[in-house]
Amino acid sequence: MGAYIAVDWGTTNRRAYLIDAGGAVLDTVRDDRGVLAIERSEYPREVAALRERLGALPVIAAGMIGSTRGWVDAPYVPAPADLPALVAARADIPGEDVVIVPGVCLTGPRSDVMRGEEVQVLGAIAAGLAPADALFCQPGTHNKWVHTVGGRIVDVSTAMTGELFALLRGNGVLKGMLDGDVADGPAFRDGVARGAGATDLLVALFEVRAGVLLGALPADDAASFASGVLIGADVGSRNLSDRDVHLLASGPLADLYAAAIRLRGGRVVAVDNQAGFLAGIHAIWGLTR
């Protein structure tokens, strides 16, 4: 197995890595050439540009490139799913020396899907960054909760917390009230407490407006409180008391989720999501050779 290019191809962003045979990263390209910026017919040109930058090498890509908005529609692998299952369902692009990693889906009484996050989760387990039986949280626009048993993804839950906050911030009755910075503090924690276990989430969200208008909620705290309500509703929907939650993310949103998880009695175990992706994609690549 020689060197290759691995791409984490998301909706808005893209990260490409030049990786040697041993799994070490030799170079990295980060840009905003996510799938929303690319027409399906443009992918051969995009891959050629990456090869010009990183070398004339085979490519393996995961994430939204395998979706209906990407280059090809790589069908989801039903849970329970592990690394060999992803390899077996991969999509090979004829004549391009490109492998597309499929996502994972949950079917039955409840439906859910994921693309890209499964590589991080299974890679974290393969690299020893998390145990084979674990609960993962992956904050983002669509927060993922992933449960693994025996190194296999058995359950996925997606919460639209980030997207809903963005919609509330940009439209409707709360527009203009949520423009402040969101930070962990008393207002955020009050929001978490209000949202956790709430059966009246829509009422709790309107309390942001009412609180500001009546002086019960400082305007500068409105965004933090609203974010806390949404994240609290998400985190509070599961029993995390005295439980390890492997947080596969970094940055401000991950910090907010970490605070909320701890407030609900969970133990946060930070896991490097990039290390998880690299370990997972290298394991998948090795199984394709």
Say if CB 179 and CB 222 are below 8 A apart. no
Q: Tell me: the pLDDT tens digits for 213-259?
A: 999 999 999 999 999 999 999 999 999 999 999 999 989 999 999 99
Q: Which domain holds residue 68?
A: 4-130+273-288
CA 189 to chain centre: 23
Q: Tell me: the pLDDT tens digits for 80-96?
A: 999 999 999 999 999 99
Does the pLDDT at position 10 exceed 80?
yes
In the DSSP assignment, the letter for residue 97 is: T
Residues 117 and 213 in one domain: no
Q: 176, exposed or middle or buried, with CB in 10 Å at 0-12, 13-18, 19+?
A: exposed
Mean pLDDT, the chain, rounded, equals 96
Helix ranges, the chain (H): 43-54, 83-88, 117-126, 161-170, 186-195, 201-214, 222-235, 252-263, 273-288
Residues 233 and 177 in one domain: yes
Angle at 183 between CA 216 and CA 146, to 5 degrees: 115
Question: What pLDDT shows up at residue 270?
Answer: 97
Taking residues 158-174, report their average pLDDT: 96
- Three-state SS for 5? strand
Residues 244 and 164 in one domain: yes
Question: What pLDDT shows up at residue 174?
Answer: 97
Taking residues 183-207, report their average pLDDT: 96
CATH number for 59: 3.30.420.300
CA 232 to chain centre: 18
Q: Say how many C-beta atoms besides its own lie within 10 A of residue 49's C-beta.
A: 14
Angle at 248 between CA 154 and CA 113, to 5 degrees: 40
Q: Tell me: the pLDDT tens digits for 232-241?
A: 999 999 999 9
Q: Tell me: the pLDDT tens digits for 114-145?
A: 999 999 999 999 999 999 999 999 999 999 99
One-letter amino acid for residue 160 of the chain: M
Residues 114 and 209 in one domain: no
Question: What pLDDT shows up at residue 1?
Answer: 74
In a domain, 204, yes or no: yes
Q: At 99, list the tokens.
A: 């492998």
